[in-house]
Amino acid sequence: MFVSLGRKRFDLILPNGGTPAGTSSPASSSSLLNRLQLDDDIDGETRDLFVIVDDPKKHVCTMETYITYRITTKSTRVEFDLPEYSVRRRYQDFDWLRSKLEESQPTHLIPPLPEKFVVKGVVDRFSEEFVETRRKALDKFLKRITDHPVLSFNEHFNVFLTAKDLNAYKKQGIALLTRMGESVKHVTGGYKLRTRPLEFAAIGDYLDTFALKLGTIDRIAQRIIKEEIEYLVELREYGPVYSTWSALEGELAEPLEGVSACIGNCSTALEELTDDMTEDFLPVLREYILYSDSMKSVLKKRDQVQAEYEAKLEAVALRKEDRPKVPADVEKCQDRMECFNADLKADMERWQNNKRQDFRQLLMGMADKNIQYYEKCLMAWESIIPLLQEKQEAK
C-alpha cells in the first residue's frame, strides 16, 4: 500500500473543525498506513463505518412522482455526531454526491452510478424489478465509497449520510475543496502530454481491453437471454399439447398429464433464470464498464497535471537563468503530479482487488443460477419417472 509523503499537504476542513485522523501530520502517516491497511479488510471486523440502502418508497406529488431510498449509517468515527443515522434520498441526490466527489477529489476514482436516464415506455421506472436493481446499484455505490480510505472521509459524503435537509445544504453551495481539488481545478486544459509513462500507459491499455471484453460479454449475455426467452415461448406451447393428448387416452392419461406438468415446471424454472440474469448479472457488468470509463478519465486528468508540470519545467529550462533552485510554482506542479500518481496507483490497486472479488462473485452467481435451473428441471423429471414406471409394471 503506497502512501505518498505528499499526503501531508492535505488539509481537509470539516464543519466541526476537526480533521480526519491520521492525515494531518507526517507523524501520523504510519498510523494512517495501518488504518488504510485495516480498512481493506474484507471481513469488516475492523470497520467503523457501515452504510445500507434499502426500503424504496414511491412519492406522488403534484409536479412529479419519484422514488426515495432509506440510507442507514452506523459509525463510531468522530466525524459523526451520532452513532446512527437514517435519512431518505432520491437518485438526484446520489447524482449530486457523485459530482461533488469528482470535483473535490479529482485524483481519485469515483465509483459509478447506475444509468440516469431510462427510455420511458421501454422500461417501467416504478416496476419492482427496476427499483430493486437500482437499489442494489446505489447500495454498491455507497459501499464502495465507504470502503475507500480517502473518499469515505469526504465531508460531502458525510452530509449526504447525515443531513435531514440535503436540499438546504446543496443550496448553500458550500464548496470546501481540498487544496488539491482547488489546484487541479485550475489546471487549464491547454497542456498536452507527450508520452504517458509506461506504468500508466499499461493501465490505460488494460482498461481499454477490459472494457472491450466486458462489452462483448454483455452482448453475449443479452443474446443468451433472448434465445432462452424464445425457447421458453416454444416450451409454453409444447407442454399443453401433452395435456390435449392425455384427454384422448385412458390408461396413459395420468403419465401424459404428468409430462405436461413437468414441462410447465421447467418453463417456470427457465423464466426465473432469465429474470435473474436480467436483474442481477447484466447491470453489474454494465456498472464495471462505467467504472473503467471513470478510471480512464482520471488517467487523462493525471496526464494533464503531468503535462502542465513538464511544460513549466521546460519553460524554466529555456529561460537560461542561472537559477540553482527550481521556482515554487514548478515545485508545486511536481508535488501535484506525484500526489496524483500515488493516489491513482493506490486506487487502481484497490480497484483491481475489488474487481477480482466482484467478478468472482458475479460469475459464480451466474453458474449457481444455471445449476439451480438444472436442479429444478431434474427434480421435475425425476418425480414423474416413478409414475411412468408404475404404469409399466401394471402391464
Partner 1 sequence: MTHNNFWLKKIEISVSEAEKRTGRNAMNMQETYTAYLIETRSVEHTDGQSVLTDSLWRRYSEFELLRNYLLVYYPHIVVPPLPEKRAEFVWHKLSADNMDPDFVERRRIGLENFLLRIASHPILCRDKIFYLFLTQEGNWKETVNETGFQLKADSRLKALNATFRVKNPDKRFTDLKHYSDELQSVISHLLRVRARVADRLYGVYKVHGNYGRVFSEWSAIEKEMGDGLQSAGHHMDVYASSIDDILEDEEHYADQLKEYLFYAEALRAVCRKHELMQYDLEMAAQDLASKKQQCEELATGTVRTFSLKGMTTKLFGQETPEQREARIKVLEEQINEGEQQLKSKNLEGSMCKKGIQVWTNAKECFSKM
- Tell whether residue 201 is a contact of partner 1 (CB under 8 A): no
Phi and psi torsions of 86, nearest 5°: -140, 120
Residue choice 58, 192, 319, 356 for contact with partner 1 (CB under 8 A): 356
CB contact set of 18 (below 8 Å; sequence gap of 6+): 78, 79
Torsion angle defined by CA atoms of residues 257, 258, 261 and 265, in that order, rounded to the nearest 10 degrees: -170
Query: Candidates 3-11, 178-186, 341-349, 354-362 — which segment interacts with partner 1 by CB under 8 A?
Result: 354-362
Task: For partner 1, give the closer residue by CB, 205 or 329.
Answer: 205
Q: Which grid cell sits at 382?
A: 425425476
- Tell whether residue 275 is a contact of partner 1 (CB under 8 A): no
Task: For partner 1, give the closer residue by CB, 166 or 380.
Answer: 380
Binding to partner 1 in span 237-256, by CB under 8 A: 237-238, 241-242, 244-245, 248-252, 255-256
Task: For partner 1, give the closer residue by CB, 81 or 234.
Answer: 234
Taking a C-beta distance cutoff of 8 angstroms, is the pair 12, 157 a contact?
no
- Tell whether residue 217 is a contact of partner 1 (CB under 8 A): yes
CB contact set of 197 (below 8 Å; sequence gap of 6+): 306
Task: For partner 1, give the closer residue by CB, 83 or 215.
Answer: 215
Distance CA 102, CA 306 (A): 19
Taking a C-beta distance cutoff of 8 angstroms, is the pair 110, 90 a contact?
no
- Tell whether residue 284 is a contact of partner 1 (CB under 8 A): no
Residue choice 10, 50, 169, 206 for contact with partner 1 (CB under 8 A): 206
Task: For partner 1, give the closer residue by CB, 32 or 259.
Answer: 259
> What's the distance, Cα to Cα, between the start and end of the chain in Å?
75
Least Cβ distance, residue 53 to partner 1 (angstroms): 26
Q: Which grid cell sits at 87?
A: 435519512
Query: Candidates 51-59, 100-108, 322-330, 369-377 — which segment interacts with partner 1 by CB under 8 A?
Result: 369-377
Residue choice 113, 138, 259, 298 for contact with partner 1 (CB under 8 A): 259
- Tell whether residue 391 is a contact of partner 1 (CB under 8 A): yes
- State the helix-helix crossing angle for 91-104 and 128-147, rounded to 10 degrees: 30
Name the helix (H) or strand (E) containing 314.
helix 282-318
- Tell whether residue 231 is a contact of partner 1 (CB under 8 A): yes
Q: What angle do CA 372, 377, 378 make, to 5 degrees?
A: 95
Task: For partner 1, give the closer residue by CB, 16 or 370.
Answer: 370
How many binding residues for partner 1 (CB under 8 A)? Answer: 54
